[in-house]
Amino acid sequence: MKDFTLSDIPDLTDKNILITGATKGLGYFTAKALAKKNANILLHSRNVESGEISKKQILKDYPESKIEIIPFNLASKKSIKEGADYIKSKYSNIHIIINNAGVMHPPYHETEDGYEIHFGVNYLSHFILNNLLLDIIKDVKGSKIVTVGSIAADIGEEQFNLDKIYKKESYHKGSYGISKFCNLLFSYELERHLRKINAQTISLASHPGVSITNIIRHSSKIRLLLIKILDKIFLPSPEKASLTTIKAATDKDAKANFYYAPSGFLQIKGSPKIVPSPPLARREDLAKSLWDLSKTL
């Protein structure tokens, strides 16, 4: 089959597309590619300044782009709520939400509400945001919520401990993978929820493989060296790596629960294809318990 490229993205005129963490890395290239196809980009950024820099960069290449910066901090429930309220005051509908923002292995810190940062930013923020925005997406025909997973989401059941998952004691080398696992559990539980409320929206997921972006900045020196060596010989650019999410968001044949990943060796790079997700991520009991816990946080 022919490789998916940016030219395969359909025209997106009049489509309102929210991308979290769109100032850098994969989110930035996703925003840029969709802006080129005439979408109205709701470019989420941590603050106005970083949003402005990214917007300017995109406008330099595509001056016709329609981009609004939507600044809020995913590490604060209050800020997420303000962001969602603003979006709802300005937009009566959203066609696509891309849950992209993420952090990996930063020094231990917590969200403003006291949750371990991987769990709080990578997963819980998107749970809160998506639920707050459901009203303006659920009745939009063909709408989609795409959640970005990771190869690291393939964890063991013993690592998934709901009593600890949001607390300091769950901060360790595996907490990034656990948060990405939560992203996948959430994507499938969201899909079940959408069916229950007769929504027009589908929930699906993607992972980009491996690509050097700002996300590696907290990695150990040894890991950085290894990644940089791999990068020289093998790894795709962030622009290429963003194609899996772009395809998930824009593929007319996409169905609920599809998981798009690179087709190459170990799913590290390659043209997007649909892959099975880690089997544990399809466990309804785990997904429901995570959803129920998240409602209380």
Ligand X SMILES: NC(=O)c1ccc[n+]([C@@H]2O[C@H](COP(=O)([O-])OP(=O)(O)OC[C@H]3O[C@@H](n4cnc5c(N)ncnc54)[C@H](OP(=O)(O)O)[C@@H]3O)[C@@H](O)[C@H]2O)c1
Residue whose CB is less far from ligand X, 16 or 211: 211
Per-residue contact track with ligand X, 150 to 189, x per CB under 6 A? x-----------------------------x---------
Report the alpha-carbon distance of residue 71 to residue 125 in Å, rounded. Answer: 14
Q: In this chain, which of 42, 43, 121, 254 binds ligand X, going by CB under 6 A?
A: 121
236 binds ligand X (CB under 6 A): no
Residue whose CB is less far from ligand X, 102 or 272: 102
206 binds ligand X (CB under 6 A): no
Report the alpha-carbon distance of residue 10 to residue 18 in Å, rounded. Answer: 17
User: Would you say 211 and 270 are in contact if contact means Cβ atoms under 8 Å apart?
Assistant: no
Catalytic residue among 144, 180, 240, 269: 180
- C-alpha distances (whole Å) from 126 to each of 32, 56, 269 are 21, 26, 26
Catalytic residue among 176, 188, 259, 260: 176
Smallest distance, Å, CB 251 to ligand X?
18
Could you say which residues in the range 216-235 bind ligand X, by CB under 6 A?
none
272 binds ligand X (CB under 6 A): no
> Residue 263: how many CB atoms within 10 A of its CB?
18
Percentages of the chain per state (helix, strand, coil), in multiples of 5? 50, 15, 40
269 binds ligand X (CB under 6 A): no
Spatial CA neighbour of 22 closest among 59, 62, 55: 55
Is residue 176 part of the annotated active site? The answer reads yes
The pair phi, psi for residue 121, each rounded to 5°, is -85, -50
26 binds ligand X (CB under 6 A): yes
# chain residues binding ligand X, by CB under 6 A: 26
103 binds ligand X (CB under 6 A): yes
Report the alpha-carbon distance of residue 30 to residue 38 in Å, rounded. Answer: 13
DSSP 266: G
Question: Which sequence positions are flagged as catalytic?
Answer: 176, 180
Q: What residues line the site for ligand X (CB under 6 A)?
A: 21, 23-27, 46, 50, 73-75, 100-103, 121, 148, 150, 180, 207-208, 210-211, 213-215
